[in-house]
Amino acid sequence: MSLPSESFRQLQSEVLELDRRQEYARAQALLEEDLPFFCAPLPGLILWRAYLTIRQGKLEEALAILEEAVAQELWFGPAQLEDESLNPLRSLPAFATATQSCQERYAEAQSRSHPGILVPEPDNPVPLPDPTLFVLHGNQSSPLAELEYWQPMTAHGWQVVLPYSSQPVAYGLAGWNEEACALEEVCIHWEQQQCRKRIAPGLAQEGGIPAIGFIAICPTLEANQVFLPHNACRVRLGLFLPVEHDEGTPATLATTEGLRASGLSCEVPQDPGLSHDFPPGFAEELPAS
């Protein structure tokens, strides 16, 4: 039996809150109590275990947690290994060995990675629907990790398309950090889907997708970053769901004002409890948005 997704998000929230209050032993006990319910070991959960163990001063135990994961053919990406929470382990030779194994597996994953796409089928198949909900997974995520939030739209006449980036960032996870590569992949995926629907192609050459709206979940924007290209004139509706106290939130709010000034209807609902995740009830409320 696996832990339901809602329970996983609750676990994540509780562990992070205990971590914030420096109740590390309680957080670790809560995490390890639920670990058996997961059908496969998740690198993110393993890192949480290591972090909490380090914060209790148990460096050898934390190192053993990471070594066990590497022995199971798992690996951690560069950004994960650079996390400052692991700094107490960096002087240990065994940590350097584990890091080297992860770097080798990361390089191997890069060499054989390729873009993919996930198009969930509705329970009651109908002729290809229109319009299309084109979903880019978050950084350090994947279509499978986010499918539950978007798949319900298939029951409301939408074709849901989830491209998978070819840029691995961790075991089973990918990102969109190389922008030119990401744009090329996304445009190719879009064209392939539109050809299936017998709509004239040509977007890859034009460098854009004729979207009429967007939803940005916890975006990380930089100051003066161009969120929409100048030729995205068809976009009329936008919804930002930013993290309240995130370092990128001021840039997101500034982007929102710029989009509004250009005539785009852009909403920014206030959710003080929102972290870097989908808000509670997102999948249920999306069809009515």
Helix residue ranges, H only, 35-177: 43-55, 59-71, 78-81, 93-112, 143-150
| DSSP state at residue 157 | T
Coil vs helix vs strand at 127: coil
pLDDT per residue over 108-134, tens digit each? Answer: 999 999 989 998 877 666 666 567 888
Q: Can you tell me the distance from the alpha carbon of 55 to that of 23, in angstroms, rounded to the nearest whole number?
A: 10
Query: CB neighbours of 97 closer than 8 A, spacing ≥ 6?
Result: none
Question: Which stretches of the chain drop beneath a pLDDT of 70?
Answer: 1-9, 38-41, 123-130, 194-211, 223-236, 243-245, 270-276, 289
CATH of 5-112, one of 3.40.50, 3.30.1420, 1.25.40, 1.20.1630: 1.25.40
The per-residue pLDDT for 205 is 37
Peptide bond into 131 cis (omega under 30): yes
For position 244, what pLDDT does the model report?
Answer: 67
d(CA 200, CA 104) in angstroms, rounded, equals: 43
What pLDDT score was predicted for residue 62? 97
pLDDT digits (tens, 9 = 90+) for 142-197: 998 888 889 988 888 888 899 999 999 999 899 998 988 988 898 888 877 765 55
Strands, E assignment, the chain: 116-118, 132-134, 159-164, 167-170, 173-175, 213-217, 237-241, 265-267
What is the rounded CA–CA span in Å between residue 236 and residue 81? 40
Strands (E), 218-288: 237-241, 265-267
Please state, as a whole number, how many other Cβ atoms lie within 10 Å of the Cβ of residue 3. 15
Tell me the whole-structure pTM to 2 decimals.
0.79
DSSP 38: S
Q: What is the pLDDT of residue 204?
A: 36
Amino acid symbol at 225: Q
* φ/ψ of residue 118, rounded to 5: -125, 120
